[in-house]
């Protein structure tokens, strides 16, 4: 990974933003199960929300390395919940950018990138998560509207999203009958229920219920019954960013554990001088290095447009490898910190609680293995 002066300048600005606007407050936000909506505007002000989006809609053209840098620096605060909700537009907007009508793009995208509105993606249902082809939420055409009925769950930014990119069944059974529709958050008949979670406390997570919600027909994203492929394409971007996030949080665990090991005195010497601790730290470094090399190779191939079935397979496996690295490093960090690692307020404690959602969200480990095998023709 060779960074330009522009990349490094961007890193400095994001690091300063995190130090001033996020790190001092993240513990309180976690305990409050929320963070201020005003943070979206402040993040937009330094260009965080617009990265990689078209200039015509308020975006800032940027390669994937810029997004990796943003992920690494936001992760320094040690809150996956903050990252998930603050950047939920990165899974909610791409289908609209790629397939939405010009009118829909101009209505939805600019205010989201400006931090004035919040966007979310709603695919998972109470009846199933990874089985997208089996979703049951329906949309039927009634003159110039769609009438939507059904439920979604585990929706990031679900409580306060102003725009929801919703996966619905508009046709017959299976993948061929699925569409995507953009739903305004104030649609009559939409009710939202907050969900309590193991981790990601400050992330807004909700269950959504659609009771015959009427949405204008022109809110359809792309072509009717062609949503499954859009969802699969969207998952690729989500899984790449989740891999980057997992690696970044693993690095935070290593940094906190190393700092503690250097300061903590045990049996008359710093903890880091004990061989068992040094070996644990080196095991962390080994996993970090392998994950970083794999991630950077995948990003380089993406930037070179060297993607296809084999790249998708590698991405699925990378997502598993990165989240396993995060899991191992979080566990090792808490062990090195000892009692302090069990206390709320340390970054490693929070990350330890947040590991499982990273291993499940965006496609559970088992699904990732199966999808990779199919992409490789096995």
Active site residues: 238
Q: Both tokens of residue 288? A: 């970090």
State the residue for tokens 């492929």: 229
Beta-carbon count within 10 A of 227 CB: 32
By the 8 A CB rule, do 88 and 118 touch? yes
Helix/strand/coil for 33: coil
Strand partners, 215: 146
Residues 106 and 125: their CA atoms lie apart, in Å, by 29
By the 8 A CB rule, do 256 and 329 touch? no
Torsion of CA 356, 360, 366, 369, to 10 degrees: -110
Degrees, nearest 5: CA angle 208-214-220: 85
Q: Both tokens of residue 252? A: 């935070």
Could you tell me how many helices (H) and strands (E) the chain has, helices first? 13, 10
Strand partners, 179: 168
By the 8 A CB rule, do 330 and 352 touch? yes
Q: Would you call 198 exposed, middle or buried from its count of C-beta atoms within 10 A (0-12, 13-18, 19+)?
A: exposed
Task: Give residues with Cβ within 8 angstroms of 101, minimum separation 6.
Answer: 218
Residues 29 and 84: their CA atoms lie apart, in Å, by 14
Degrees, nearest 5: CA angle 172-140-173: 10
Q: Both tokens of residue 341? A: 């690692």
């Amino acid at each position: 990974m060779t960074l330009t002066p522009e990349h490094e300048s961007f890193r400095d600005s994001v690091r300063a933003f995190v130090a001033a606007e996020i790190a001092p407050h993240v513990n309180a936000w976690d305990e409050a199960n929320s963070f201020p909506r005003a943070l979206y505007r402040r993040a937009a002000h330094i260009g965080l929300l617009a990265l990689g989006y078209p200039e015509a809609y308020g975006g800032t053209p940027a390669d994937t390395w810029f997004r990796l840098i943003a992920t690494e620096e936001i992760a320094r605060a040690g809150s996956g919940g903050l990252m998930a909700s603050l950047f939920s537009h990165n899974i909610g907007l791409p289908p609209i950018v790629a397939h939405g009508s010009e009118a829909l793009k101009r209505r939805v995208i600019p205010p989201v990138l400006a931090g004035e509105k919040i966007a979310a993606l709603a695919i998972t249902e109470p009846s199933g998560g990874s089985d997208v082809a089996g979703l049951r939420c329906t949309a039927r055409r009634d003159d110039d509207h769609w009438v939507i009925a059904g439920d979604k769950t585990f929706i990031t930014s679900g409580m306060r999203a102003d725009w929801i990119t919703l996966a619905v069944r508009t046709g017959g059974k299976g993948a061929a009958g699925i569409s995507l529709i953009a739903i305004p958050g104030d649609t009559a008949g939409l009710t939202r229920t907050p969900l309590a979670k193991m981790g990601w406390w400050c992330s807004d997570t909700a269950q959504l219920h659609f009771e015959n919600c009427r949405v204008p027909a022109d809110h359809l994203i792309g072509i009717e019954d062609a949503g499954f492929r859009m969802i699969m394409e969207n998952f690729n971007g989500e899984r790449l960013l989740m891999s980057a996030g997992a690696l970044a949080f693993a690095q935070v665990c290593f940094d906190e554990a190393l700092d503690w090991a250097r300061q903590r005195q045990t049996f008359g010497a710093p903890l880091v001088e004990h061989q068992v601790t040094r070996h644990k730290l080196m095991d962390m470094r080994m996993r970090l290095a392998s994950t970083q090399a794999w991630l950077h190779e995948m990003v380089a191939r993406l930037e070179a447009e060297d993607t296809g079935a084999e790249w998708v397979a590698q991405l699925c496996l990378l997502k598993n490898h990165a989240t396993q690295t995060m899991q191992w490093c979080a566990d090792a960090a808490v062990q090195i910190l000892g009692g302090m690692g069990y206390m709320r307020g340390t970054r490693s404690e929070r990350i330890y609680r947040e590991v499982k959602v990273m291993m499940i969200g965006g496609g559970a480990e088992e699904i990732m293995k199966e999808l990779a095998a199919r992409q490789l023709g096995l």
